[in-house]
Amino acid sequence: MGRLFGTDGIRGIANSFLTCELAIKTGRAAGKVLSDGSRRRPLFCIGTDTRISSDMLSSSIAAGLCSVGADVIVLGVVPTPAVAYLVGKYKADAGVMISASHNPAEYNGIKIFGGDGYKIPDALEEQIESIVLDGDTDDHTGLSGTDIGKITYAANAVKDYVDHLKSTVMNSLEGLNIAVDCANGSASVSAERLFTELGAKADILHAAPDGININSNCGSTHIERLREYVTEAKLDAGIAYDGDADRCICVDEKGNIVDGDFILAICAKDMKERGKLSKNTVVGTVMTNMGFGRFCEENGISFVATKVGDRYVLEEMLQESYNFGGEQSGHVIFSDFASTGDGQLTSIQILSLMKRSGKPLSELAGVMKRYPQSIINVTVSKEAKVAYYTDPHIKAAIENAKKQFGKTGRIVVRPSGTEPLIRVMTEGEDRALTENIAESVSEVIRERLDGR
């Protein structure tokens, strides 16, 4: 992990760590690094989520880009995957998304996509990082007059993106009654148009962003209200996105949560049956539930696990020519249609399958048994995240946990790549044992790293 870029771009408290000055410098550095080397001026797309700080940071990034001679297309509020798609459609050299995804409103972030729609590789992030932190981004190369970049505004960004999403399904969603939780985020500008045009009857929830209510007791990280809404209204399904709509969690007609692991199983089975699953393989992460591995064994599907982070899932998919993968959190990548995780794309694939099969979501999700899982997030300082790797008492606690589980379960402990947390995940056949081990290891981490 770099000094600025984490596993999902630059992220921090807006106007504290993530200041206008840092955004301007990042814009200048990205303009220099990501231009195609030709004499024509580079072109960048910039999208934002609905946070109060997003306009401030978008304007700063745009100013930095223009100061080094890059032109900018401002997309406005759009989902992160819309930026990835529109970079290609608008023939831009790169795209920037201003968002902190599922984090609270006080956070924000900068995600950068290359001209191919994929998140830029580590080597390019390091070049940008080096210029920002070690180079002279105050040197504008003396540009003036017509050499300075200009800003234009995309009038049809949301429409173009929604039209693309609609093209990925083979049937309408007419007859389905659903609820859609937009998390007061980016999906607020696109979800109603998408589902209306596909024919579904959709109750759109939490789609009134005010700059500070993004992800606040709503969306994919707070799904309780959606579960109640679906069961009380007797709907076919519920869909929940996060703040930038790159992840999706579903609720079946009984109110059960259908997370990313279930979505992978449902879609993988369908794709294999239709001959659409490349190499009969799905890519997940070390956090993917054990039940998914058992599902793959039973259905003749290969499973490959990577480090946590959708960028690592995608890297494995690209390297081995797989076309389907994702995370339990709801980042799901259909690489036949998209270059990154896309919550709205995922949801219409699931709903299209429900319509084609005539089966309720609960029955489709029954292809996989979920093993009891316990996840505890331990809040630590930045220094403690580093100290975690070498602490002998923590290592011993983890090794003891593995012995307790034997072959009936497992433990995964890892520092978060985007938040000041160490995540402890356990899962196994025995729920009580799974929960007890997670708590005991978490307590050791708290005792050893508290105050660092």
Backbone φ/ψ region at 43: left (φ over 0), alpha (ψ -120 to 50), beta: beta
Look up 362 and say whether it is catalytic: no
Residue 46 CB contacts under 8 Å (≥ 6 apart), including other chains: 58, 61, 62, 72, 73, 74, 75, 83, 95, 96, 97, 98
Query: What is the rounded distance in angstroms from the CA atom of residue 379 to the CA atom of residue 393?
Result: 18
User: Closest Cα to residue 283, out of 300, 266, 307?
Assistant: 307
Which amino acid makes up residue 89?
A: K
Structure tokens at 329: 């959190």
Query: What is the rounded distance in angstroms from the CA atom of residue 306 to the CA atom of residue 288?
Result: 10
* HSE toward the beta carbon, residue 268, CA cutoff 13 A: 32
Residue 116 CB contacts under 8 Å (≥ 6 apart), including other chains: 87, 88, 339
Residue 68 CB contacts under 8 Å (≥ 6 apart), including other chains: 27, 28, 31, 32, 140, 141, 143, 149
Q: Which of 101, 186, 188, 374 is catalytic?
A: 101
Structure tokens at 277: 């699953």
Structure tokens at 205: 């929830």
Which amino acid makes up residue 263?
A: I
Cα 145 to the center of its chain, rounded Å: 40
* DSSP secondary structure string for all residues of 188-208: GGTHHHHHHHHT-EEEEES--
Query: What is the rounded distance in angstroms from the CA atom of residue 196 to the CA atom of residue 213?
Result: 25
Interior angle at CA 91, CA 86 and CA 95, nearest 5: 50
Query: What is the rounded distance in angstroms from the CA atom of residue 227 to the CA atom of residue 237?
Result: 9
Residues forming the active site: 101
